[in-house]
Amino acid sequence: MTDYSQLRLLAIHAHPDDESSKGAATMAHYARLGARVMVATCTGGERGSILNAEMEGDVAAERDLTGLRRHEMAAAAAALGVEHRWIGFMDSGLPEGDPLPPLPWGCFALQPLERASAPVVQLVREFRPHVILSYDENGGYPHPDHIQTHNVAMEAYRRAGDPEAYPGTGEPWTPSKLYYDRAFNPERFLALHEALLERGLDSPYAERIAAFQESDPEGHRPPVARHETTTRVRCEEEFPARDRALSAHRTQVDPKGLFFWVSTDTQAEVWPWEDYTLAESRVASELPETDLFAGIDPTTPRK
């Protein structure tokens, strides 16, 4: 049996609330098994908006949304039983319009790669994770901060163990595996959609599923379907903790919205996993996997 008390997991996210909608039950699962689990949040969500109508008019939300989001993040981390670290960059916002406006000066997405990566490399060298979780090259969806988070996670995974790289940021540490989160896995949405219809219930997923199945004029599928699942972590016992973490982000998450449309019991019956793609690995492991730490021996000497 695996001794998880010697293992460490680092999830690198773009904004406060991303950790609760992507891989939250997995993190709570491993924390409960005894692993050290940390979330790194690259920005403070400073350019976010109030997305929950019930919070409209809330004095704290309207006067200091950034400050309130820090409190929300602390509550979410406590709900999951994980550690948390702010990386400290400025939210880039999600540009809208045609043509798209330029990104704000000094924002996270405009930082040179080495500048954006240095504090994450330092955290990797300090926390010494065996596994890193983050987004694919599309960011999970193409928000500029999510794409930059992917870039930073890849850089930290590949270079934190290089003693010549990033001088002054601590002793080298080489993580063993890096995974892309597949929170937007089309197969999951389709399974939940069909389960709702079989129960005679309305499904909120029809539009999303249609988007997954459409191609652009050149025949390309949507970017969210770019990678295949290699690893499924069964974690349905932690779905309630995930939902508590989501609810903690009350300025960002509508308690009557999409995340809560399907009961935890139905989700546990239909899709009791969270899905990942093993993007890079320095250890041998047999695919498909059911454990992010498969193949890792924490007693093996390393830098």
Q: CA 301 to CA 216: how far, in whole Å?
A: 49
pTM of structure: 0.94
**Per-residue pLDDT tens digits of the chain, which is 303 residues long:** 789 999 999 999 999 999 999 999 999 999 999 999 999 999 999 999 999 999 999 998 999 999 999 999 999 999 999 999 999 999 999 998 888 899 999 999 999 999 999 999 999 999 999 999 999 999 888 899 999 999 999 999 999 999 999 999 999 999 999 999 999 898 999 999 999 999 998 888 888 777 766 655 555 554 445 799 999 999 999 999 999 999 999 999 999 888 998 999 999 999 999 999 999 999 998 999 999 999 999 987 665
pLDDT at 246: 98
Same domain? 129 vs 78: yes
Same domain? 87 vs 29: yes
pLDDT at 208: 76
Same domain? 174 vs 34: yes
29 in a labelled binding site: no
pLDDT at 223: 45
Q: Is residue 50 part of a domain?
A: yes
Q: Is residue 99 part of a domain?
A: yes
Task: Report the CATH number that the domain containing residue 141 is assigned in CATH.
Answer: 3.40.50.10320
Q: CA 42 to CA 10: how far, in whole Å?
A: 13
Q: Is residue 260 part of a domain?
A: no
Same domain? 90 vs 112: yes
Same domain? 169 vs 205: no
Torsion of CA 72, 73, 75, 80, to 10 degrees: 140
Token digits of residue 172: 């080298």
| Cβ neighbours for 227, distance < 8 A, ≥ 6 positions apart | 136, 180, 182, 277, 279
Same domain? 110 vs 202: no
Domains held by the chain: number: 2
pLDDT at 214: 63
Q: Is residue 294 part of a domain?
A: no
pLDDT at 224: 47
Same domain? 143 vs 109: yes
Residue whose tokens read 């991303």: 18
145 in a labelled binding site: no
pLDDT at 210: 77
Same domain? 197 vs 173: no
Same domain? 91 vs 213: no
Same domain? 174 vs 193: no
Q: What's the half-sphere exposure (Cβ side, CA atoms, 13 Å) at 115?
A: 10
pLDDT at 219: 52
pLDDT at 218: 54
Orientation angle between helical segments 24-33 and 65-80, nearest 10 degrees: 50
Same domain? 69 vs 211: no
Q: CA 259 to CA 16: how far, in whole Å?
A: 16
Same domain? 202 vs 275: no
Q: Is residue 253 part of a domain?
A: no
- Residues spanned by the domain of 116: 8-184+271-281
pLDDT at 205: 86
227 in a labelled binding site: no
Q: Is residue 241 part of a domain?
A: no
Q: What is the pLDDT of residues 221-280, one digit of tens each?
A: 544 457 999 999 999 999 999 999 999 999 999 998 889 989 999 999 999 999 999 999
Q: Is residue 175 part of a domain?
A: yes
